[in-house]
Chain A
């Protein structure tokens, strides 16, 4: 079953177009930086971007910071929202369930495939950014953003790996919300919109001083905390809080998706 779903993901043109677009945005940014030589002033603009001009090795982290707030979650919400609702609207859900594929199993496999997509997207973005960054800009050892000695290469690579894992975990939260929405409606568009509405709400509240009390519990609040992984010593506080909060959202929405789907009348 997992193989079947992976094959569906792989043979679908949409998957590759989305990933190409995701990798395209940081590439475009890198080319613009290179051509104009104008970077954001230090401390302004997207994370890491100011330093990229002088050190291409930082570009993967900068690229993730570029796609993380909007682009990546939109892609994940679309894929996750399509998981069940897409089958329903294509009329294939009833044939999968009468094949029979257990409902819980279908949900788990859909989640796994969404995660494969997230990983693929994050890794491709990071890899393309690394290739683009190192070929366009000078490469130096990674500087620590909190000052101090540069980060050595082996050290830098585990930090990068943890970053990819952290971003993927954050996106799993989006995937859980999308999957839940996908079991509620038979329209993939509505499911994607529903989960995006939740994210936009969270991001708007995160900017609002009146919502200060809520901020530490918002799903998007700690998304960019992976920046702390490039400090020496690493600041784990926000990252670990982010992992925990995201874990709660993932558990709650996956449970809700399962409870809804397992007891739902499939009338599509």
Chain B
């Protein structure tokens, strides 16, 4: 299977500042890939290098199997991009802006331009608008128009930097649904974001970048893998703690009024459950603990950079 995006040892230095260091990304075709990082972690520099806007100090970028920036002419017509907010001529209408952009480059037949523009506007929920000058658009409408521009030529790969910026919750949800639908239709989406909930909701794989270095890259399910602890809710916490301690390796990490957090050390949760029930402890709930992406993210970025696992 070819990779939609591959970077090898990608490094960018601005003067003395190292913005991106030794980045190895792998985005498979058909992924909805989340690219996470705090502000100033090198996300946008990476996105710009992927698109050939910024030249890497060292390392390689391949988009859809072709080298960037060398093959941008061949590869970028199949890529839709939204980088750091939309950019339009304010005195022209949304439609006129899309038409100018489409006309400016290769890979967009003029015959069906009107049709494609209409379709793209419809997909982002701007079907009714598009005639007023962009100057009069709200920031949410501009964001949608930016997405429409990225969708104009039914790209194989979408590189989107903060696509839900400026949208209300309803709009965010619509965009999320749109991205899922695009991936279902065979496209690949590279979603750069600092909205962890967004990535957790829709992405299949994710990478986390911190201070220009990759700290994690894995399927989202794996990033959110069980922590090896279980949460036990019971009206008999004291008895439960005593019983748990009789199993080898188990340790009660936290103890609250009616719940315990037990570190299992490899013991299956059901083994603990049986011991508790057989010991007469009334178990109301026994759940393997899973971190939220936010917890994982904070944990990984607090530790600071380390070699990707």
Contacts and interface: CB of A to CB of B under 8 A. Distances in A.
Interface of A: 1, 3-4, 7-8, 11-13, 90-102, 263, 265-267
A100 B76 contact: yes
B48 A1 contact: no
A98 B54 contact: no
A100 B72 contact: yes
Given A97-B52, A99-B101, A265-B55, A11 B92 contact: yes
25 contacts: A1-B104, A3-B103, A4-B100, A11-B92, A90-B89, A91-B85, A91-B88, A92-B88, A92-B89, A94-B48, A94-B53, A94-B84, A95-B83, A96-B105, A98-B52, A98-B76, A98-B79, A98-B81, A98-B83, A99-B101, A100-B106, A101-B105, A265-B53, A265-B54, A267-B53
A139 to B, nearest CB: 42
Q: Which of A1, A92, A96 has the most CB of B within 10 A?
A: A92
Nearest to B45: A267
Contacts of A13: 91
Nearest to B152: A99
B53 A266 contact: yes
B255 interface: no
A100 B86 contact: no
B98 to A, nearest CB: 11
A150 to B, nearest CB: 49
Q: Which of A93, A98, A102, A266 has the most CB of B within 10 A?
A: A98
Interface in B54-83: 54-55, 72-73, 76-77, 79, 81, 83
A4 B91 CA distance: 15
Nearest to A95: B87
B149 interface: yes
Nearest to A14: B91
Which are the 4 A-B pairs with shortest beta-carbon distances?
A: A91-B87, A99-B105, A100-B76, A265-B54
Contact of A94 (B79, B83, B91, B103): B83
B104 A4 contact: yes
A95 B101 contact: yes
B51 interface: yes
B280 interface: no
Contacts of A90: 87-90
Nearest to B76: A100
Nearest to A13: B91
A165 B170 CA distance: 59
Contact of B104 (A94, A99, A265, A266): A99
Contacts of A102: 73
Given A91-B84, A91-B88, A94-B53, 15 more contacts: A1-B104, A12-B91, A91-B85, A93-B87, A95-B101, A95-B149, A96-B101, A98-B53, A98-B83, A99-B104, A99-B105, A100-B77, A101-B104, A101-B105, A266-B48
B53 A97 contact: yes
A94 B53 CA distance: 7
A92 to B, nearest CB: 4
Nearest to A267: B54
A7 B52 CA distance: 27
Contacts of B96: 11
Contacts of A1: 103-105
A10 to B, nearest CB: 12
A2 to B, nearest CB: 10
Nearest to A100: B76
Nearest to B92: A11
Nearest to A266: B53
A96 B104 contact: yes
Given A4-B100, A267-B48, A100 B91 contact: no
Contact of A263 (B55, B76, B91): B55
Nearest to A7: B100
B226 to A, nearest CB: 41
B87 A94 contact: yes
Q: Which of A1, A4, A8, A12 has the most CB of B within 10 A?
A: A4
Contacts of B81: 94-95, 98
Contacts of B91: 11-13
Contacts of A3: 103
B54 A100 contact: no
Nearest to A88: B87
Interface in B117-151: 149
A65 to B, nearest CB: 34
Nearest to B12: A265
Contacts of B51: 94, 97-98
Contacts of B103: 1, 3-4
A9 to B, nearest CB: 12
A11 B92 CA distance: 9
Contacts of A98: 51-53, 76, 79, 81, 83
